[in-house]
Structure 1
Amino acid sequence: MTLVKRVLALALALATPAAFAQSAEVKKYLNTAITLYENLEYEKALKQIKQAHVKSAGADDDAKIALLEGIVLADMGREDRALTAFKTAFSVDLDARLPVEVSPKVQAVAEKARANVRKMLAPQLAAQKAEEERKAAELARKTADEEEQKRREAERLAEVKRHEEEERAKNQPPPMVVQPESGPSARALSWIPGVVGLGAAGAATGLLISAGNKHAALVNGTANPADAVQLRDSGKTEATLGYVFTGVAVVGVGAAVVMFIVGAPKDAPAVSVVPLEGGGYASATFQFDLGGQR
């Protein structure tokens, strides 16, 4: 078998799962061969190496067997066969180290074979390196293209978003302006609480005068004794109502004055009257507009 054929055979063997697993039997034969070699029993060592060839399980076994075979043959002076064996080993592992310490002569033969294999594999190694560099450059270019595509997509999305915001701003309806409700001024409405107050004042005057007359009749004794109780009760009621209407009159007139002087409530004051025993309670609620926005 020529060297090229051996290289091809070893390359095919590398594809098998057991390519780098040295079998136990091969290791046993090689250890025996090393012992015989160190004892200078070269022929017996070659026989053990031949047995190891039979038990070889793949390229790794073949490389180790060929490496030891080259050492033995080189020490026996069979340089051509030694070169062939070394080339077989270095074709599998160009950086393989010799398994035993050897003489400078054997080392020189081994390095010569290594140099020949390196020269022979140079185109293949260069092509392999070029392929690796090409793949690395292709990966870098692909990565750069992907990054550029991502950048352009981000710019496109940003532009779409900006355009949508501009369109939304253009189509947005104008802000609502709430006009304050118009209504009559407080001064124009001030007559209402004034009329209520004056009316209440007149009613209070009449009720208090009537209650005073009844009280005077009871005190002077001019009242009919049979009507005394009725006069007393009706006098109390009229007095209570008189005081209540007096309060209403004060509140109404005061509200009219305030409305006339201060400003413009849009609604008339709310006047509430609560008669109580012995008196009463009156209140008025106003809403004023002093010129500010509502």
Structure 2
Amino acid sequence: MTMPLLEVEGLVKHFVRRRPLRSTVVVHAVNDISFTVDEGESFGLVGESGSGKTTAARCILRLTTPTAGEIRFDGEPIRSMSRQQLRRLRRTVQPVFQDPYASLNPRLPVGESVAEPLVVHRIGTAASRQARVEELLDQVGLDRSHLRRRPDELSGGQRQRIALARALALGPRLVVLDEPVPALDASVGAQIVNLLMRLQRDLGLALLFITHDLRLVRHMTTRVAVMRAGRIVETAATQAVFAAPRHPYTRTLLAAADLASRRGQVDPGEHRPDDGDTPLREVAVGHWARV
């Protein structure tokens, strides 16, 4: 059996909030979630704001330290990695964040921003880095005239393409995309989705989508996990979740997005349970839900 590229097992992340003259509050942002992403697969982690999906992504990227659980990339646990090992990991796992303007240095020409990972990792000569940057711009559908522009001279869609080019600079195997299209209008968002599909096909990338956008998940992913209040409440092949959702929360999300099938429509009297003590169980082959 082929080893998954990314394995998340029992991931927990708690935040402690200390309030003056009040009791300490522990926020259970991510509470015992597990999933895998295979080489070249497109996987969706979906839920409303506050469900814990972005915190899970930050743990995977080692931008925050998990409270408990294990994360393995290509079989290697990342929680115990040294600084040097993490540096190597960052060449193979790259993020693309929701706001491309915030993630780009406003004072740098975009050509320098795209080249920055190559400089940081001391890859190539100045000439070879320049050639790589031009190749990357071509891959994301931008011409060389953009090299000397600054982020504030670009549209939202162009900035997101630059963010993608920079993420691809080191030749990653996994790209983690945190809400990659919601700030864009529908037509530009569709162009970015089509670009992602082409890049995944051409480069063999694994993509992990962190999103509340169910239409994006339906279009782009082969498997999906639905998060609610820090837990995964349902996970299966994307087609199965959309055709026959089993958890009430999943059905509510699909109905709100007008994507529920007749079989998956919400019963107005249906109770949305507290899933704390309800384990995931296999309700169909490869389809797990807290029901």
TM range (shorter): under 0.3
TM-score for the superposition, normalised by structure 2: 0.23
Higher relative contact order (CA 8 A, sep 6+): 2
Greater Rg by CA: 1
Between Structure 1 and Structure 2, the one with more strand by share is: 2
TM-score (norm 1): 0.23
